[in-house]
Each structure stands twice: as structure tokens, then as C-alpha cells.
Amino acid sequence: MMPKPRLIAAMLFAFGRFGHAQNADSAEQVQVPQFTADGQLVAPKNYREWIFLSSGLGMTYGPISGAGATDDNPRFENVFVNPPAYRSFLKTGTWPEDTIFVLEIRSSASQVSINKNGKVQTEVAGAEAEVKNSRRFPGKWAFFDISGEARAAKPIPTAASCYTCHGQNGAVDNTFVQFYPTLIETARRMGTFHEQATAIHSASLKSYVFHGKVEGLNAAEGSLRVNGDKVEGWMDAMTMNYKVDDPSVFGNIKPGDAITATVYDEDMVLHKVRVVAKEVTQK
Ligand code: HEC
């Protein structure tokens, strides 16, 4: 494939940036992820001009967010997303290619100035980024630690907990839309919201591994017709239509494919559908 003009622009941008650190104009205008020639994400310095999604306070789950925080000094986590991705989400309920998030972690303080109760945000304690780009990353998404003065960062290896926790618990396509109040309704309306991820006891709901052979697709309804093997305790062997949690699977599944998925007590949705064997071409 011919390199896209945007890609070339990104490369020029990256070189320009390292060559002339004072090139503030281009550095201020980043709207899509930029990569250096060796595949590092250029830290987007202007993310505070993007769309603000929400702040979590004192949430415990992540390696950086926990470190150094105390009960008296819980950390804020401010989430920003690039404007083109946000606009696309409002139309489709999911994230397009070249989505980039920044999670900015800030310390907190109280009794600052006239403040008596509650917390205000103080200095930056770290920053992480997350990019969707299926050309670069086989799993579509990659995570980066862009804390400090680093101008660019390599992807965090895919064995890191970022990938598992986001993949399993994010309500929309690897991301925690369940915590972004302005997006929840859009995702529900578009049918992209993974309700399971937000069930209070989702971790304790029993899950099963599902195996089956695809017999048909109905992308409009978000369902697959599958001849499923028996899942002990969940369903007998039978052919039926199942909803899927993530409509993007329709892009790489066709009738005849063997799939596996995760299924849960209390719903009939196929989660995390994966093709295990492509249909053998007819002789
Ligand atoms: C145990 C679960 C968990 C792990 C592990 C985790 N995260 Fe998250 N992440 C979250 C939650 C929950 C949010 C919701 C935002 C918040 O903090 O308010 C989030 C939000 C984010 C966001 C904002 C975009 C989004 O997906 O919603 C980024 C960027 C991010 N995390 C980066 C990382 C990186 C980098 C790592 C690994 C170093 C990581 N996370 C590990 C749970 C996790």
C-alpha cells in the first residue's frame, strides 16, 4: 500500500519535532496520533485542548495511579480524547482508527487557599496514552507511558495488565466508556455498550467458553447464527442466533468459520468472539 499523506506528514512532523524543539506551532496542533520513524508515539503535548471525558478520583486499579497516592492525597485521573475520534464516536458509538486517549494523573490537596473541604487537583503525577491503529498493532489498541518530559514512548508490551483489564472490563471497544457520562447514552443507543462490563458483580458472574461454527451473519441486527457445541451448565448443542458484544467482529468472520467466545450466566450474548479456524476453501 502507498503510504498515506497523513503518515508522511506524521513522519516529517516527528523529525521536525526532534530537530527543532521550539517548533511550537506544529506541536500545538496534534489531532491524531503521531509516530516517530521507529514506531514510538510522539507524546501529544496539546491534549488539554482535546475533549475532556471525565475525572476519576482515588480510583485504585492501575500501576501508576496507585503509586504514591495516599488516602489524604487521592489522585485524579483526567481523561481526554482527540476531537476527530470524539465526533466519530457520537455518530457510530465506537472508536475509529487513529483514536488517541490521554489519561492524565494529578495529585490532590485540600485546604488550599480558601478551600476547607474536598479536594483540588495539583501537579501532574503521570500520563498514559492509548491508541487505536490496526495497521500498527495486531490487537488494534496499544498503550504508552508518556509521563514526564519524554517526547516519545514505545508501546507497552502486550503482556502488561493494561491490555487484559481494558479488554475484559471496558464497556466499549477496550475503553471505559461506562465511566464517561457524556458517552454512555450514545453507546447504548448505538448498541455498542457492553453491558456485561458494567454489571456490578460481573467479575463474580460465572463465565463459560463457547465453541461453534458460524452459519450466518446479520450485521444489521448485530447477531451471528451459530451451530454451537454444548456448553455444560449454559446451553445444549443447538443452532441459534446470538447477539455479539462487539460489532467489529463482522469485519473478519464469515459463514463456515469456527469460533470461540466467552458467555455468561444470565445473558445470551457472545463476548470476545474469536475465529479459531477459517473456512476451508471449497474443493
Ligand atoms: C485493573 C484495570 C486497569 C488496568 C490494569 C489498567 N487500566 Fe487504564 N483504565 C481503567 C479504568 C477503570 C479506566 C477509567 C478511567 C478512570 O480512571 O477514571 C481506565 C482508563 C484508561 C485510559 C483512558 C481511556 C480508556 O480506555 O477509557 C487510558 C489511556 C488508560 N486507562 C491507560 C492505561 C495503561 C497505560 C495501563 C497499563 C500501564 C492501564 N490503563 C491499566 C482500568 C485499568
Picking from 196, 222, 257, the residue at the C-terminal end of a domain is: 196
Which string of DSSP letters, residue by residue, matches 184-197? Answer: HHHHHHHT---HHH
> Whole-angstrom Cα distance, residue 217 to residue 252?
11
| Residue of 146, 165, 169 to test ligand 1 pocket, by largest number of atoms within 8 Å of CB | 165
Q: Assess whether 81 and 106 both reside in one domain.
A: yes
Q: Assess whether 84 and 27 both reside in one domain.
A: yes
Q: Which residue segment(s) compose the domain that 53 sits in?
A: 5-196
Whether pLDDT at 145 is above 50 = yes
Whose Cα sits closest to atom 6 in ligand 1?
162
Distance 13 CA to ligand 1 centre (A): 28
* Long-range pairs of 239-244 with CB within 8 A, sequence gap ≥ 24: 239/215, 242/268, 242/269, 242/270, 243/268, 243/269, 243/270, 244/269, 244/270, 244/271, 244/273
Q: Assess whether 143 and 55 both reside in one domain.
A: yes
Spell out the alpha helix ranges (H) of 20-82. 24-28, 63-66
Residues of the chain with pLDDT > 70: what percent?
81
Q: Assess whether 230 and 129 both reside in one domain.
A: no
Could you tell me if the CB of 45 is within 6 A of ligand 1? no
Its pTM surpasses 0.75: no
CB 183 within 8 A of CB 79: no
Total domains present in the chain: 2
For the segment 35-50, the average pLDDT, to the nearest whole number, is 96
Could you tell me if the CB of 161 is within 6 A of ligand 1? yes
Spell out the alpha helix ranges (H) of 46-97. 63-66, 83-92
- CATH code, domain carrying 73: 3.50.70.20
Whose Cα sits closest to atom 37 in ligand 1?
162
- Tell me, yes or no, whether 60 lies in a domain: yes
Q: Assess whether 111 and 217 both reside in one domain.
A: no
- CATH code, domain carrying 224: 2.40.50.320
Q: How confident is the model at residue 91 (pLDDT cuts 50, 70, 90)?
A: very high
Identify the pLDDT of residue 198.
65
Could you tell me if the CB of 166 is within 6 A of ligand 1? yes
Could you tell me if the CB of 173 is within 6 A of ligand 1? no
Identify the pLDDT of residue 21.
40
Whether pLDDT at 44 is above 50 = yes
**Sign of the torsion angle spanned by Cα atoms 33, 134, 177, 174:** negative
Q: How confident is the model at residue 26 (pLDDT cuts 50, 70, 90)?
A: low
- Tell me, yes or no, whether 75 lies in a domain: yes
What residue has cell string 446451553? Answer: 235
Could you tell me if the CB of 47 is within 6 A of ligand 1? no
Could you tell me if the CB of 242 is within 6 A of ligand 1? no
Identify the pLDDT of residue 22.
42
Q: Which span out of 6-20, 134-148, 250-264 was modeled with the highest average pLDDT?
A: 134-148
Residues of the chain with pLDDT > 90: what percent?
55
Whether pLDDT at 66 is above 60 = no
Identify the pLDDT of residue 129.
98
For the segment 46-74, the average pLDDT, to the nearest whole number, is 77
Q: Assess whether 28 and 162 both reside in one domain.
A: yes
Identify the pLDDT of residue 28.
56
Distance 64 CA to ligand 1 centre (A): 10
> Whole-angstrom Cα distance, residue 227 to residue 68?
51
Picking from 141, 168, 196, the residue at the C-terminal end of a domain is: 196
What residue has cell string 517548533? Answer: 23
Q: Assess whether 123 and 243 both reside in one domain.
A: no
Q: Assess whether 178 and 69 both reside in one domain.
A: yes
Q: Assess whether 71 and 93 both reside in one domain.
A: yes
- Tell me, yes or no, whether 282 lies in a domain: no
The widest CA-to-CA distance across the chain, in whole angstroms, is 79
Q: For the segment 157-211, what is each residue's pLDDT rounded down to a tens digit? A: 999 999 999 999 999 999 999 999 999 999 999 999 988 766 644 455 678 899 9
Q: Assess whether 42 and 114 both reside in one domain.
A: yes
Picking from 170, 196, 222, the residue at the C-terminal end of a domain is: 196
Distance 34 CA to ligand 1 centre (A): 21
Reduced to 3 states (helix: H, G, I; strand: E, B; else coil), residue 17 is helix
Could you tell me if the CB of 197 is within 6 A of ligand 1? no
Question: How big is the CA angle at 260 (ends 176 and 232), to the nearest 5 degrees?
Answer: 105
CB 171 within 8 A of CB 177: yes
**Mean pLDDT (the chain, rounded):** 84
Q: Assess whether 31 and 156 both reside in one domain.
A: yes
